[in-house]
């Protein structure tokens, strides 16, 4: 059974933001660190690359991806930036990047800055929440695409609204004419994933969220046709073949992006194994039980707020959002004061975001193996008291 070091005096309902890493996985990471510090030069020059290849192979198998197209990045934000940086030199003024109102803010920012560098623009598609069906998303994205569209950036599991999007359907419609970058930050470990059947040009996601690896482990998968012109957001030795340890030019762009602590990415196989061993039914049972708990938790909170479920159950993974009533004295901060009160007064960690724009806001719960149903009852009690 996996165990976590989480503070038992706190109700942790925000696995979604930064994950939480089991103790056994942290032990494996610590062992890598000890080996690294016993002889940093030997570790970086001799031991690092073979360990990285093992990690890449294990992750590729888990994702249903080819290892040749898979590289590690420190986080999904870096993955998105790397794709945009690599594409923008080929884009002409007037080209458009399509995002949505549910795109993660950091990644939307990256698209806006990228578009300003090549003289293009960002098209922001409005996707409603509450939502009735995934087909609304497909229809709205479809109608935003024009001959100027150079890239469509889609979230697989949206951050503010916690919805699983029909990305495979959209990729099938758009690719190969229009490259799709999927920001799957939450997807691996939360929903069943087979990257080869999705077939997007670019797919980036975190291991430190639902795979429960140490923080600083994420990946980018790139379709074969784009690999020759890919580079990491930080240009390093791989640019002139100065990192000969890698098995391809594409890998070399990402395998070394300057000295850092590589132990998080090296501990990804341990996270995959420790979590798989946590339940007799392995990853499938983890995904199913988290999903069931998220739905049960959402219903408890929705009852307390007297709300109907804002999305079909099939669009939920292990995070679920609910719109909150807007208070009369609402401000315009991205992090709502209610989130601070839940943190300080109730010892509950749960995100409350301004969305789509302040003062409108949503609350988003998470369900991970360390949660239990009483966590959501406690949140419901706090919300009843706070919101009256
Ligand atoms: C959809 C989405 N994309 C990107 C990120 C950014 O992840 P990171 O901070 O690990 O880059 C998040 C974080 O929650 C997210 O929800």
| CATH class entry, domain 24-274 | alpha beta
Index of the ligand 1 atom closest to the CA of residue 103: 1
Q: What is the whole-number distance in angstroms between the Cα of residue 187 and the centre of ligand 1?
A: 11
| CATH class entry, domain 11-22+280-387 | alpha beta
Q: What's the CA gap between 138 and 127, in Å, rounded? A: 10
Reply yes or no on whether the pLDDT at 122 is more than 90. yes
Encoded tokens for 299: 């219903």
Residue nearest to atom 12 of ligand 1 (CA): 185
Name the average pLDDT for the chain: 96
pLDDT range class, residue 12, cuts 50, 70, 90: very high
E-strand stretches of the chain: 11-12, 70-73, 96-100, 121-125, 149-155, 180-183, 202-206, 218-222, 319-324, 348-349, 352-354, 361-366
Q: Tell me, using a 6 A CB cutoff, whether residue 72 lines ligand 1.
A: no
Q: What is the whole-number distance in angstroms between the Cα of residue 40 and the centre of ligand 1?
A: 31
Q: Which helix (H) or strand (E) holds 282?
A: helix 282-305
Q: Tell me, using a 6 A CB cutoff, whether residue 82 lines ligand 1.
A: no
Give 28-48 pLDDT, tens digit per residue.
Answer: 999 999 999 999 999 999 999
Q: Tell me, using a 6 A CB cutoff, whether residue 104 lines ligand 1.
A: yes
> Counting every residue, how long is the chain?
388
pLDDT at 56: 98
Residue spans per domain, the chain: 11-22+280-387, 24-274
Which residues, listed in sequence order, are joined to residue 154 by a DSSP beta bridge? 182
Reply yes or no on whether the pLDDT at 27 is more than 80. yes
Encoded tokens for 344: 């300080």
Reply yes or no on whether the pLDDT at 362 is more than 70. yes
From 16, 20, 83, 159, the mutation candidate for ligand 1 (largest count of ligand atoms within 8 A of CB) is 159
pLDDT range class, residue 311, cuts 50, 70, 90: very high
- Peptide bond just before 176 cis, omega within 30 deg: yes
Reply yes or no on whether the pLDDT at 350 is more than 80. yes
Q: What's the CA gap between 232 and 84, in Å, rounded? A: 10
pLDDT at 334: 65
From 165, 167, 206, the mutation candidate for ligand 1 (largest count of ligand atoms within 8 A of CB) is 206
Specify the pTM: 0.98
Q: What is the whole-number distance in angstroms between the Cα of residue 232 and the centre of ligand 1?
A: 18
Give 368-386 pLDDT, tens digit per residue.
Answer: 999 999 999 999 999 999 9
Give 194-232 pLDDT, tens digit per residue.
Answer: 999 999 999 999 999 999 999 999 999 999 999 999 999
Reply yes or no on whether the pLDDT at 329 is more than 80. no
pLDDT range class, residue 328, cuts 50, 70, 90: confident
pLDDT at 359: 87
User: Does this chain's domain 11-22+280-387 share its CATH topology with 24-274?
Assistant: no
Q: Tell me, using a 6 A CB cutoff, whether residue 186 lines ligand 1.
A: yes
Index of the ligand 1 atom closest to the CA of residue 209: 10
Q: Tell me, using a 6 A CB cutoff, whether residue 336 lines ligand 1.
A: no
Q: Tell me, using a 6 A CB cutoff, whether residue 55 lines ligand 1.
A: no
Residues 6+ apart with CB under 8 A from 359: 326, 327, 330, 331, 332
pLDDT at 241: 83
């Amino acid at each position: 059974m996996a165990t976590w070091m989480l503070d038992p005096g706190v109700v942790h309902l925000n696995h979604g933001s930064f994950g939480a890493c089991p103790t056994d996985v942290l032990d494996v990471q610590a062992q890598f660190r000890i080996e690294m510090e016993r002889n940093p030069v030997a570790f970086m020059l001799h031991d690092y690359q073979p360990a990285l290849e093992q990690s890449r192979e294990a992750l590729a198998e888990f994702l249903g991806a080819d290892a040749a197209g898979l590289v590690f990045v420190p986080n999904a934000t870096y993955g998105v930036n790397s794709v945009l940086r690599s594409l923008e030199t080929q884009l002409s003024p007037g080209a458009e990047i399509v995002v949505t109102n549910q795109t993660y803010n950091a990644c939307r920012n990256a698209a806006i800055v990228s578009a300003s560098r090549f003289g293009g623009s960002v098209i922001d598609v409005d996707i409603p929440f509450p939502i009735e069906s995934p087909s609304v998303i497909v229809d709205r994205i479809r109608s935003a695409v024009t001959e100027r569209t150079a890239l469509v950036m889609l979230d697989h599991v949206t951050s503010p609204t916690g919805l699983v999007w029909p990305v495979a359907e959209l990729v099938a419609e758009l690719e190969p004419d229009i490259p799709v970058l999927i920001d799957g930050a939450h997807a691996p470990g939360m929903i069943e994933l087979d990257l080869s059947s999705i077939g997007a040009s670019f797919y980036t996601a975190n291991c430190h969220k639902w795979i429960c690896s140490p923080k600083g482990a994420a990946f980018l998968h790139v379709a074969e046709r784009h690999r020759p012109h890919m580079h990491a957001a930080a240009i390093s030795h791989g640019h002139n073949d100065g990192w000969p340890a890698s098995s391809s030019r594409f890998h070399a762009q990402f395998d070394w992006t300057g000295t850092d602590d590589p132990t998080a990415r090296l501990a990804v196989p341990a996270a995959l194994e420790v979590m798989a061993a946590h339940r007799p039914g392995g990853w499938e049972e983890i995904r199913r039980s988290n999903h069931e708990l998220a739905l049960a938790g959402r219903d408890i909170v929705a009852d307390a707020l007297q709300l109907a479920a804002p999305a079909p159950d099939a669009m939920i993974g292990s995070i679920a959002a609910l719109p909150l009533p807007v208070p009369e004295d609402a401000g315009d901060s991205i992090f709502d004061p209610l989130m601070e009160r839940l943190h300080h007064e109730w010892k509950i960690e749960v995100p409350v975001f301004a969305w789509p724009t302040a003062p409108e806001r949503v609350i988003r719960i998470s369900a991970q193996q360390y949660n239990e149903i009483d966590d959501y009852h406690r949140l419901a009690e706090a919300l009843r008291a706070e919101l009256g």
